[in-house]
């Protein structure tokens, strides 16, 4: 087992997948450090050179995520063996050509070659082949600063990191540096839009999978690709470049939808078989499908992830879009698959905006994924849980998925919080460890409910510790202050279902949640006594939040 970009990789698994490819009779995989990055090399034997697939890496990409794919797969006559019959991995390593960075004959010919080398030195080999921004390719803030420093050092320019954070692509850097690029995917420009091929299909293509522009104008195609979605489709992205603000301002959302539809109808943008997107762009994918309903260019399917129905929010609808929706037929809507966060049973009231959709919107199927964090739904490890469901949906087969059937959930904090809410003590301990390390656990709502969870599990010390942390983070929160006081009260002083309605709704919910699971084990105090203590705690909580005292 080795670690590549923070992910555990078993070389035997990669070997097994290589061996399963057509005509491959033997396979072996070795690891080697290159440019401070661990990379894999694969070696295979085949029945004949004529039957060798044109691109084994592309074939393997249909089975494995990109970090498990060898940077190169060599065909050899036989796999070398030791005397005991085991694979001679040292002999395989000797077959890999060495790379000397001081060798004047190295392949860096142009400034763009050097920029690619810097780009991949802080990301991973092959990252330049993805037309996507630095952070979506796995970069973080520390690596971003390293990249900026290396580029400034080599090219002798001062970069404005603040501006590049929002859209740091290899092409953007090249444009700023005035470097001529090579082999760049052609861009289709139509009005305010830009469209380009993101990734070709593995094997024969079933059609176009078109990614919608996100809240910042860029698409979120990369997580879908990495999760294994649409591998038998040509993936295209359509984007709405903006310099300031976001897509919800200045009617950009409506304008983008109308221009995408018009571009598809005129044959300038590719006609999609599938339109898809995450969150904001998922709602935009639905809208494009709705506006094309009944037309020859209408997509066959819509796949959206944790998306809000923005078409129901009047402030986002301007007159041309309203008119288009009225004149366009609402019949023959393309079927929609919605991947969204699973509801939290009993612990947290389900107010997720994804439940605002209805069957009238063409939601053919809904798949619930185990996480509490909206941004986790853009995490490819979470999305990959639904890969088989998506494949079944796109093949017009029955979609069968149940989050309770997941054997090994991803090591994602939002996922651990979800399982902790459902009684998994290992996940709960993982969350508590993260909290003790100072990790932000997606906001005060979930931290409050973790306090309630620990309280109802009869863990007063841990619930008190979590509540103190919540008070430190949000000293002006009335609900946090109220919760901190109530968990120290005797259970018999709590209300359960009969809290006076004169109090704010949030306080009533906290009181009911605290009392719901422990109330039956005690005899409640008299109603006047309980009412007196509740009024006292509410008053002090409001004062403490207002003046940030205690």
Mean pLDDT of 118-131: 75
Average pLDDT, the chain: 81
Give the pLDDT confidence score for residue 52 in this predicted structure. Answer: 42
Of residues 238 and 313, the one with the higher pLDDT is 238
Neighbouring CB atoms inside 10 A of 273's CB total 19
Q: Which of 342-356, 395-409, 426-440 has the lowest mean pLDDT?
A: 342-356
Mean pLDDT within 390-405? 90
CATH match of 2-93 with 3.30.300.30: yes
Domain ranges, ordered by start, for the chain: 2-93, 111-177, 191-405, 443-547
**Do residues 49 and 75 touch, judged by C-beta distance below 8 A?**
yes
| pLDDT at 138 (0 to 100) | 66
Q: What is the pLDDT of residue 329?
A: 65
pLDDT exceeds cutoff 90 at 511:
no
Fold of 111-177: 1.10.1200
Residue of 296 and 453 predicted with greater confidence: 296
**For the chain, what percent of residues have pLDDT higher than 90?**
20
Q: What average pLDDT does range 312-332 have in this prediction?
A: 77
Q: What's the whole-number mean pLDDT along residues 371-390?
A: 89
pLDDT tens, position by position, 220-264: 898 898 888 998 899 999 999 888 888 888 889 899 999 999 999
Backbone dihedral angles phi then psi of residue 360, each to the nearest 5 degrees: -65, -20
The pLDDT value given to residue 281: 93
pLDDT band at 292 (very low <50, low <70, confident <90, very high): very high
Q: For residue 272, how many other CB atoms are within 10 A of its CB?
A: 30
Q: Does 111-177 match 2-93 at the fold level?
A: no
CA 180/CA 174 separation, integer angstroms? 7
Cβ-proximal residues to 429 (8 Å cutoff; 6+ apart), any chain: none
Pick 36 or 265 by higher pLDDT: 265
CA atoms of 383 and 69, how far apart (whole Å) = 19
Pair 238, 271: CB distance under 8 Å: no
Name the CATH superfamily housing domain 191-405: Alpha/Beta hydrolase fold, catalytic domain (3.40.50.1820)
Mean pLDDT (whole number) for 330-342: 87
Question: Any residues with CB less than 8 A from the CB of 280 and at least 6 apart, and which?
Answer: 214, 215, 247, 248, 253, 307, 308, 310
């Amino acid at each position: 087992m080795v670690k590549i970009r923070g992910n555990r990789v078993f070389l035997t698994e990669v070997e097994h997948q290589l061996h399963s490819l057509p005509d491959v009779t033997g396979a072996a995989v070795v690891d080697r450090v290159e440019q401070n990055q661990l990379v894999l090399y694969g070696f295979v034997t085949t029945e004949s050179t004529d039957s060798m697939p044109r691109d084994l890496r592309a074939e393997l990409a249909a089975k494995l995520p990109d970090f498990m794919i060898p940077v190169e797969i060599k065909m050899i006559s036989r796999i070398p063996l030791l005397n005991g019959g085991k694979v001679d991995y040292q002999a395989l390593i000797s077959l890999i050509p060495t790379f000397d960075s001081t060798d004047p004959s190295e392949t860096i010919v142009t400034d763009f070659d050097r920029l690619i080398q810097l780009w991949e030195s802080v990301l991973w080999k092959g990252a330049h082949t993805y037309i996507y921004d630095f952070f979506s390719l796995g970069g973080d803030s520390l690596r971003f600063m390293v990249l900026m420093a290396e580029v400034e050092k080599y090219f002798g320019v001062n970069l404005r990191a603040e501006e590049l954070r929002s859209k740091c692509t290899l092409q953007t850097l090249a444009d700023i540096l005035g470097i001529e690029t090579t082999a760049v995917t052609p861009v289709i420009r139509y009005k305010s839009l830009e469209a380009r091929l993101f990734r070709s299909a593995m094997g024969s293509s079933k059609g176009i999978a078109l990614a919608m522009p996100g809240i910042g104008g860029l698409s979120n195609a990369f997580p879908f690709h990495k999760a294994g979605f649409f591998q038998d489709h040509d993936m295209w992205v359509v984007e709405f470049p903006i310099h300031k603000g976001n897509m919800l301002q200045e009617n950009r959302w409506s304008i983008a939808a109308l221009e995408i539809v018009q571009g598809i109808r005129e044959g300038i943008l590719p006609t999609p078989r599938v339109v898809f997107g995450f969150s904001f762009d998922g709602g935009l994918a639905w809208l494009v499908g709705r506006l094309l309903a009944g037309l020859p260019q209408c997509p066959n399917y819509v796949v959206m992830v944790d998306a809000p129905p923005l078409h129901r929010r009047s402030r986002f609808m301007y007159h041309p879009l309203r008119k288009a929706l009225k004149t366009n037929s609402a019949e023959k809507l393309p079927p929609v698959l919605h991947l969204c966060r699973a509801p939290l049973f009993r612990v947290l009231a389900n107010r997720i905006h994804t439940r605002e959709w209805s069957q009238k919107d063409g939601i053919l199927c809904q798949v619930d994924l185990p996480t509490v964090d909206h941004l986790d739904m853009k995490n490819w490890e979470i999305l990959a849980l639904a890969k088989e469901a998506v494949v079944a949906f796109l093949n017009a087969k029955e979609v069968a998925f149940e989050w309770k059937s997941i054997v090994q959930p991803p090591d994602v904090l939002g996922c651990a919080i979800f399982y902790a809410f459902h009684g998994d003590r290992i996940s709960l301990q993982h969350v508590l460890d993260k909290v003790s390390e100072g990790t932000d656990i997606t906001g005060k709502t979930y931290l409050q409910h973790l306090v309630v969870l620990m309280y109802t599990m009869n863990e007063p010390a841990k619930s008190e510790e979590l509540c103190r942390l919540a008070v430190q983070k949000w000293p002006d929160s009335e609900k946090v202050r109220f919760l901190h006081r109530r968990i120290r009260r005797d259970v018999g002083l709590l209300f359960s279902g009969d809290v006076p309605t004169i109090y704010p709704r949030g306080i009533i919910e906290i009181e009911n949640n605290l009392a719901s699971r422990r109330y039956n084990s005690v005899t409640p105090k008299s109603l006047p006594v309980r009412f007196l203590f509740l009024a006292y705690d509410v008053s002090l909580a409001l004062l403490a939040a207002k003046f940030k005292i205690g």
